[in-house]
Amino acid sequence: MKPYVSAQGWDPKEHDMTDVQQLAAKLAHAHETGKTLVLPTAWDTWSAAVVEEAGFEALTIGSHPVADAIGSSDGENMDFSEYLDVVSKITKQVGIPVSVDVESGYGLDPATLINRLIEAGAVGANIEDVVHTEGNRVREAQEHADYIAAARQAADDAEINFVINGRTDAVRLGTDVFEDPLAEAAKRIQLMQQAGARSVYPVALTTAEQVQTLVDTVTVPVNVTAHPVDGHGAGDLTALKDLGVRRITFGPLWQKWLGATSAEQFKKWI
């Protein structure tokens, strides 16, 4: 495979490229089996180790929970290098594939973004269409697809079977932005699939009908966000599987649930 050299210089002791390539292949294959992947969303080495110990085959890292953990805030307000330090620590801690939420790319061009993620040991990424660094501007549908296509090309050039999870906030933004948010989401996930996304992430779906519509729109896995205890508006894990959902993540909900549960229990000690 082609040697990868970062801007700082590649250190094979940090993340062996053969290992990264193998982890990427595992994650890509897991998206192609037709099975439903549950990828809990971690924020530090402890939570990542919990996910691995529980037996999950891969995990995600969420920008929102990481920002909360390091005293920052979501919306591309973290220093990206600091964020990648967290990512690198996690990928060194666990032996399972790791995908990272990079919001809209933190102002980086697609090739730089992908190469820095690979350098940190990540083998997948969520890339969304709301550009927080530009006043929450929403990328045009084709513009976002082009960004994902360029990211796909960068990963292919590095010979890493990187899993891009193309996210759209069309449903979340609602009729204030789009005349028909669900139809807009359908258009965008189709374009992202064509651009090389290995899964798509239309956030803020709340009903079985919405989920079914978008699952039927593409052939790659559709990602939904679920609560680890309460499930999703469309139902529990079994219901989501029956709808054809093939990728489930927790976003910030696991961390929030853990915090709320802990706070309630701690009241006994006050």
Q: Would you say residue 226 lies in a domain?
A: yes
CATH code for the domain in which residue 113 is found: 3.20.20.60
83-90: list long-range contacts, CB under 8 Å, 24+ apart. Answer: 84/116, 84/117, 84/119, 84/120, 86/43, 86/44, 86/61, 87/61, 87/117, 87/120, 87/121, 87/122, 88/14, 88/15, 88/120, 88/121, 89/44, 89/45, 90/42, 90/44, 90/45, 90/48, 90/61
| Cβ–Cβ under 8 Å, residues 80 and 120 | no
Which pLDDT does position 72 carry in this prediction?
A: 97
Q: Would you say residue 94 lies in a domain?
A: yes
Which pLDDT does position 2 carry in this prediction?
A: 38
Q: Would you say residue 199 lies in a domain?
A: yes
Which pLDDT does position 16 carry in this prediction?
A: 82
Q: Would you say residue 11 lies in a domain?
A: no
Q: Which domain holds residue 136?
A: 17-269
Q: Would you say residue 125 lies in a domain?
A: yes
Residue written as token pair 């779906």: 205
Which pLDDT does position 12 carry in this prediction?
A: 36
Q: Mean pLDDT, consecutive 10-residue segments, the chain of 270 residues?
A: 38 69 98 98 98 98 98 97 98 98 98 98 98 97 98 97 98 98 98 98 98 98 98 98 98 98 97
Inter-CA distances, 148 with 111, 113, 189, 224, 234, Å:
10, 11, 11, 19, 28
What tokens were used for 231?
């499930």
Cα distance between residue 186 and residue 254, in whole Å = 28
Which pLDDT does position 3 carry in this prediction?
A: 38
Q: Would you say residue 2 lies in a domain?
A: no
Which pLDDT does position 257 carry in this prediction?
A: 98
| Cβ–Cβ under 8 Å, residues 47 and 183 | no
Q: Would you say residue 9 lies in a domain?
A: no
Q: Would you say residue 6 lies in a domain?
A: no
Domain tally for the chain? 1
